[in-house]
Structure 1
Amino acid sequence: MACFFRRSIASKLSRILHQPEDVFISALSAVPVSNKKQTADFRLSIVTLVKDGILTSNGNLQSQTEALLNELKQDSVVEEISIGPGVINFRLHRKLLVQKMLEPLGKEDSFGLNSELFNRLEKGKTLVEFSSPNIAKKFHAGHLRSTMIGNFIANLKRSLGNDVIRMNYLGDWGMQFGMLGAGFEQYGSQEKLKENPLQHLFDVYVQVNREAEINKDIRHAARVFFRHLEHHEVKAMALWQQLREISVKEYQQVYKRLGVHYDIYSGESFHQGQTQEVVQQLHNLGLLKITEKGTGVVDLSPCGDMSSYSTVLCSDGTSLYITRDIAAAIDRKEKYTFHEMIYVTDKSQDNHFHQLFQVLLTMGHSWAQRCRHVSFGLVQGMKTRCGEVIFLEDVLDEARARMLHNMSQSMTTKEMENPEDTAEKVGISALIVQDFKGPLESDYKFDWDRMLQAKGDTGVFLQYTHARLCSLLHMQGNGQELELDPSVLLEPRTISILQHLLCYDEVLYRSAQDLQPKHLVNFLTKLCRLVALALRELPVKGSPPNVAQARLQLFNRTRSVLANGMRILGITPVDKM
């Protein structure tokens, strides 16, 4: 595999430059596959060696490159070494490339995950907080991005050896619940709550907010209800508990459809009792300032002139969202002893998390440096046939219905036991890939037709390729009957696929650094394009047994990498389409 070749080249460089092998690992990268010609397999960046102090910076870069080239020799692993602008290229012996890349694995999902690159990543316990809808409201389509991105990050971290805790931090406290509580007391119905719980609560919430715009008494009632909650008044707490349990039960049905699970369902309410402790700590540390309006703030300005501050307490003494987040972060560190904590929310909360981390650091919690906010942009134009989307279930139902229709119209659709389940999985994969193709911070326009195309860089294309490979392997076997003969797999199409697989560990490494799924999406879609060409030019049926078996091993390894990459993205691969 890639780690064998990278280590072999690094060993060669180590002997020449008298440095440990590990220092050359990051300077070596797999060369992207070219459609025009067969390229080298790895390249060494001389610029990186200079930057890392392995080569001196006062010499001519090209001269240094040529001098190092002259000392490098071909061996049993590398058959050709050439020079480029600031790089040295290494071409591997083709038979060895085939043999090593198609070696049997103990675990199917371990391909690319034993790379030396990952030794550079810090391992430990990772807590990922994502999705986090507000209770008593139906799952809004806007929470889809947080759910999918958080699930990807948790999957990626786990695949690279981290101990991952998946947390759903529900919005189950605060003034928005005060508004709902006051609204339910006035407009709510226990009968309607039993019939369609979240729809009824949504209707109540819309009605009470509309009324609050013109009626100050409603806003006052909301503040009173929330104050009752803060003081654990029995009637208010009973309603809160009922609506929270209903909400979690409803959300779990949606998460099940998305293939997402959580280790912990937490919420703002879990920490409302600790907010006074946080306020007291801030007071004891001399960090809490009381403004003329009576609010409690923490000065975050570098010069101490209050040019930047965070409000942590209302004038009536009730807690705020950030106060509960401070308490939650401290409690999680004590309870779970995480190495890093990642919050996944939209970019409108960038300032909130900047202030949260600053307050924690000001309080002396140095571990806040290992807290990270992964932000994302907005989805524009998300509509169903019924009009503007409000709820995520509408999106999932629409994706399933449209995909089921497309499958029924396709001549290549296989007979299957549960076409609706397949349509659901493929529809969700289409949602995920459309969301992940670009930078997470960017807004993007939702497009049903483009998203569900079977050709192009779509989730449907990934699923179609996987199902096609599964069908081939089901009919012809996995190629393990005969010992692999590398000499029959030297066609350009085969080599292109294997060269592309050399990049897999680098793609995962890059994804782990910036937590962007686009790298993996681009890798998988390119792999599928290479597979499509290979399936056309490298037939299994009708080929000599040794050739057929070798090609099956190639397609089996490719299917395995494709499936595992899809699972990291949060996609469940289907065997038939």
Structure 2
Amino acid sequence: MACFFRRRIAEKLGRTLKQPEDAFIPALSAVPVFKKQKTADFKLSVSTLRTEGILPSSGDIQLQTENLATQLKQDSVVEHISADCGVINFTVNRKLLVQKILEPLGKQEGEKFGLDSELFSTLKRGTTLVEYSSPNIAKKFHAGHLRSTIIGNFIANLKQSLGNNVIRMNYLGDWGMQFGFLGAGFGQFGCQEKLKQNPLQHLFEVYVRVNKEAEHNEDMKQAARDFFRQLEQHESQAVSLWQQFREITVKEYHHVYKRLGVHFDIYSGESDHQDQAQKVVEQLQSQGLMKTSEKGTGVVDLSPDGDMSSVCTVLRSDGTTLYITRDLAAAIDRKHKYHFDEMIYVTDKSQANHFHQLFQILLAMGHSWADRCRHVPFGLVQGMKTRTGEVVFLEDVLDEARARMLDNMSQSKTTKEMDDPEGTAEKVGISALIVQDFKGPLHTDYKFDWDRMLQAQGDTGVFLQYTHARLCSLKRRNEGIESSTLDPSLLLEQTSISILQHLLRYDEVLYQSAQDLQPKHLVNFLLKLCHLVASAHRELPVKGSRQDLAKARLQLFSSACSVLANGMRILGITPVDKM
């Protein structure tokens, strides 16, 4: 296990430099693996020790590096120490490397591999509330919501795996002026029969039609304003129609989330906070934070000099609340109800200014916990179309991913007989969607590409699933030969060592992901593991090898399979056993 070696090297450094060993744990990192090349296992940057004040910050850094390297003595754990360009490299005992990584992975606690690392001791545990997905009621679940859903699910999974108590919240857009339009529009263009047959499609059609009408019809705009005011005043007819829209939509969403393998602990919505939003307005007034603009709207001055050069509107001139007013009420209510230690919002980057203003107003109101609220922004998906080329709804994308994957599987010579080919195609198709989305930085836009996404070769979700299924097949074919006792001397070829060295990085990758909440670190780690496994599969046959060698190699492949499955689950991918 990486933490065993990191601790031993840190002890050595602590003794030599007369410092607490914990000071060196975060400074030591596993060396990235390059195919077929022998590398050291851990490295330490001397400039980090200079920055931390452990070593003098003046003088020749290379000389300092060489001096420190010569003071550090080799032992039964650390076999080789070298200095190079301001970095000290440590190579550990090869048999010990095999033993310390494969033994825990061969036991029941394999699922916890890498999660007990000392690197995580600096992370704050506690309750994390993640708000994600958050589609708008009465509109079909658009493909644009896919990013928020899968990114939020990844963050929730990661935080949970690291020991946080996670609350998964879906904050529905179920209030606001769009319901004025929908309510007024349904009165004119709606049909209860069509609503029963295909609810979201019909509501979508009504919404498009009423918006088109309102572009040149002032009466329609006024009817929409009137309907929303009736909602805010709890008039029974308006509320009853709105409730019908909400219940229908949530039921439809449940089906999509089930397909994606996503669940929520709480379904909340803007409507839950309409009354509290008025109280927030009163608080802002009593604290002297809200002023009335020339247009009669209620605004909060956020300019650094208090000159009204940057304001945020929190109340319309007719006295109705806005999205940000309800978000303020929701944040205060959540803190009171769930006592979270951190709250993470996952929305597209166009809302960055909204959250900046939200956190600023909360702090101005005296809520110091707003410092522990965070917005994770993401870019847009470009060119996501189905074969029919229509407006893309998420169900259409999932259907198409499954259909294309099923088609690919039926044409592949390596496809295995399976009980549920459609279910497998669905899981693999969703893996492909997730990996294509997660490979780069979240804030960048990316171009959606069906063909590249569904390739079995290359860095795709299909390749991850294919590797996992292949390792499961290897285990099935060699059932009964796995051994509880491992002879480490049988796994000393560079191909085996490269896999083990790569597994040393797993805790660092999770740590890095926890810092910046970016899934790309874990995706790229798993893809690299798959490439290393593919090489080993060719070079280290299990079948036909003598029994002790076959057992050792199978243990290596089983361990890689275990880490691959663990990492995939954190990403929100369900591993398949056959493909």
- Give the TM-score normalised by structure 1: 0.99
1:71 paired residue number? 71
Measure, in 2, the Cα distance between the counterparts of 1:431 and 1:36: 31
Displacement after TM superposition at 1:35 (Å): 2.4
For structure 1, which runs of at least 5 residues remain unmatched after alignment?
Answer: none
Displacement after TM superposition at 1:62 (Å): 1.5
Of 471-480 and 128-137, the range deviating more from structure 2? 471-480
Alignment of 1:151-300 (within 5 A): 151-300=153-302
Measure, in 2, the Cα distance between the counterparts of 1:478 and 1:430: 33
Contact 2:150 2:572 in 1 (8 A): yes
Amino acid at match of 1:565: G
SS at match of 1:213: helix
1:10 paired residue number? 10
Contact 1:345 1:374 in 2 (8 A): yes
Measure, in 2, the Cα distance between the counterparts of 1:389 and 1:229: 30
Displacement after TM superposition at 1:276 (Å): 1.1
Measure, in 2, the Cα distance between the counterparts of 1:242 and 1:206: 19
Measure, in 1, the Cα distance between the counterparts of 2:557 and 2:440: 28
1:47 paired residue number? 47
- Name segments (4+ residues, structure 1) moved above 4 Å: none
Amino acid at match of 1:532: A
Amino acid at match of 1:56: P
Amino acid at match of 1:359: I
Contact 2:291 2:299 in 1 (8 A): yes
Measure, in 2, the Cα distance between the counterparts of 1:411 and 1:13: 54
Amino acid at match of 1:68: L
Q: Deviations over 1:275-299 (max 9, x none)?
A: 1110111011110100111000000
Contact 2:491 2:552 in 1 (8 A): yes
Of 29-38 and 331-340, the range deviating more from structure 2? 29-38
- Give the TM-score normalised by structure 2: 0.99
Displacement after TM superposition at 1:66 (Å): 1.5
SS at match of 1:102: helix
2:87 paired residue number? 87
Measure, in 2, the Cα distance between the counterparts of 1:85 and 1:124: 41
Q: Deviations over 1:251-306 (max 9, x none)?
A: 00000000000000000000001011101110111101001110000001111001
Q: Deviations over 1:368-402 (max 9, x none)?
A: 11110000110000011100442100000000000
Q: Deviations over 1:518-548 (max 9, x none)?
A: 0011000000000000000000001111100
Q: Identity over the aligned pairs, expressed in percent?
A: 76
Alignment of 1:40-439 (within 5 A): 40-104=40-104, 105-439=107-441
Measure, in 1, the Cα distance between the counterparts of 2:390 and 2:55: 59
Amino acid at match of 1:96: L
Taking structure 1 as reference, are residues 563 and 422 closer, same or farther at Cα in structure 2, changes over 3 Å only?
A: same
Measure, in 1, the Cα distance between the counterparts of 2:342 and 2:470: 40
Taking structure 1 as reference, are residues 69 and 20 closer, same or farther at Cα in structure 2, changes over 3 Å only?
A: same
Aligned pair count? 577
Measure, in 1, the Cα distance between the counterparts of 2:12 and 2:312: 55
1:571 paired residue number? 573
Measure, in 2, the Cα distance between the counterparts of 1:507 and 1:401: 34
Contact 1:25 1:117 in 2 (8 A): yes
Measure, in 2, the Cα distance between the counterparts of 1:170 and 1:478: 51
Displacement after TM superposition at 1:59 (Å): 2.8
Measure, in 1, the Cα distance between the counterparts of 2:308 and 2:51: 41
Measure, in 2, the Cα distance between the counterparts of 1:448 and 1:437: 15
Displacement after TM superposition at 1:116 (Å): 0.5
Contact 1:477 1:552 in 2 (8 A): no
Measure, in 2, the Cα distance between the counterparts of 1:145 and 1:536: 37
Amino acid at match of 1:386: T
Contact 2:344 2:375 in 1 (8 A): yes
SS at match of 1:576: coil
Q: Does 1:23 align with 2:26?
A: no
Please tell me the root mean square deviation across aligned C-alpha atoms, in Å.
0.9
SS at match of 1:387: coil
Displacement after TM superposition at 1:478 (Å): 7.1
Displacement after TM superposition at 1:154 (Å): 0.4
Amino acid at match of 1:175: M
Measure, in 1, the Cα distance between the counterparts of 2:184 and 2:466: 51
Contact 1:46 1:61 in 2 (8 A): yes
Contact 2:36 2:494 in 1 (8 A): no
Q: Deviations over 1:309-360 (max 9, x none)?
A: 1100000000000000000000000100001000000011011011001110
SS at match of 1:417: coil
Amino acid at match of 1:379: V
Q: Deviations over 1:61-97 (max 9, x none)?
A: 1222122111101111111000111110000111010
Amino acid at match of 2:165: D
Measure, in 2, the Cα distance between the counterparts of 1:300 and 1:361: 11
1:450 paired residue number? 452
Contact 2:314 2:325 in 1 (8 A): yes
Amino acid at match of 2:447: K
Displacement after TM superposition at 1:173 (Å): 0.2
Contact 1:6 1:28 in 2 (8 A): yes
Displacement after TM superposition at 1:21 (Å): 1.4
Q: 2:530 aligns with which of 507, 525, 528?
A: 528
Contact 1:167 1:264 in 2 (8 A): yes
Measure, in 1, the Cα distance between the counterparts of 2:209 and 2:352: 30
Contact 1:169 1:266 in 2 (8 A): yes
Displacement after TM superposition at 1:240 (Å): 0.9
Displacement after TM superposition at 1:106 (Å): 3.7
Displacement after TM superposition at 1:37 (Å): 1.9
Q: Deviations over 1:465-493 (max 9, x none)?
A: 00000000011037543510000100110
Contact 1:135 1:243 in 2 (8 A): yes
Contact 1:479 1:551 in 2 (8 A): no
Q: 1:507 aligns with which of 480, 485, 509?
A: 509
Contact 2:384 2:392 in 1 (8 A): no
Amino acid at match of 1:54: I
Contact 1:478 1:552 in 2 (8 A): no
Measure, in 2, the Cα distance between the counterparts of 1:336 and 1:288: 28
Contact 1:154 1:164 in 2 (8 A): yes
Measure, in 1, the Cα distance between the counterparts of 2:49 and 2:479: 46
Measure, in 1, the Cα distance between the counterparts of 2:434 and 2:362: 34
Contact 1:482 1:546 in 2 (8 A): no
For structure 2, which runs of at least 5 residues remain unmatched after alignment?
Answer: none
Displacement after TM superposition at 1:112 (Å): 0.6
Amino acid at match of 2:55: L
